[in-house]
Amino acid sequence: MTFPLSIHPKDTMPRLKTKTIEPAPRKYNRRSEEQLIADLQAKIETIKARAAVKAAKKDPTFRHVSKAIKSVDAAMSSTGDQPIRTALQEARATLSACMQLKGVLVPQSGNGRSSGSVSAEAILSYVQKNPGQRGEHIAAALGTDTRALRGPMKQLIEERKVRTKGLRRGMQYWAA
């Protein structure tokens, strides 16, 4: 196959030579026998601690206590009554302390982003001040996540205090 002079592939772009960069030589520091022994003993201690936590997690008592903590978390997220919330927080603290005695770490309530449930009044006042906002913006402004907004927002919509426009994540909220 013949190419006209101006279209030949070799004429279009000159080839550049690529440079290969050699990696810098590694410097190895030899550890003394005492350092090796100390490192191995530290590894042994961490393995023993993990085994103790694993055994504690298999204990049926602690399985029931962890279920109780989850139930307390669910009750706290569904109630808006402050005295009941306070009592549930104290119960959760006591159950968490029992779990920590055996070295089992108990996660914080919620998923880390949520600051608990949000009251319907707080949502309604925000929607009145900022009409047309989406759920993500409302959650960010109230310092929680969209999942914590679902229950109170459904309640406000059913009570016809809030009206909506759009679907799913694009839904916007206005005070009725």
**134: its two tokens:** 């989406």
| pLDDT band (50, 70, 90) for residue 38 | very high
| Alpha carbon distances (Å) from 15 to 3, 9, 80, 134 | 19, 11, 72, 54
Domain ranges, ordered by start, for the chain: 34-101, 120-175
Instruction: Give pLDDT tens digits for 84-111.
Output: 888 988 888 888 888 777 766 666 654 4
- The SS3 of residue 172 is strand
Give φ, ψ of 174 to 5 degrees.
-130, 150
Q: Residue 105: what pLDDT?
A: 67
**CATH class (in words) of the domain with range 120-175:** mainly alpha
User: Which residue in 71, 80, 63, 70 sits closest to 121, CA to CA?
Assistant: 80
Instruction: Give pLDDT tens digits for 125-141.
Output: 888 988 888 888 888 88
Q: 68 near 76, Cβ under 8 Å?
A: no
Average pLDDT, the chain: 80
- Count other C-beta atoms under 10 Å from residue 174's C-beta: 14
**34: its two tokens:** 């005492």
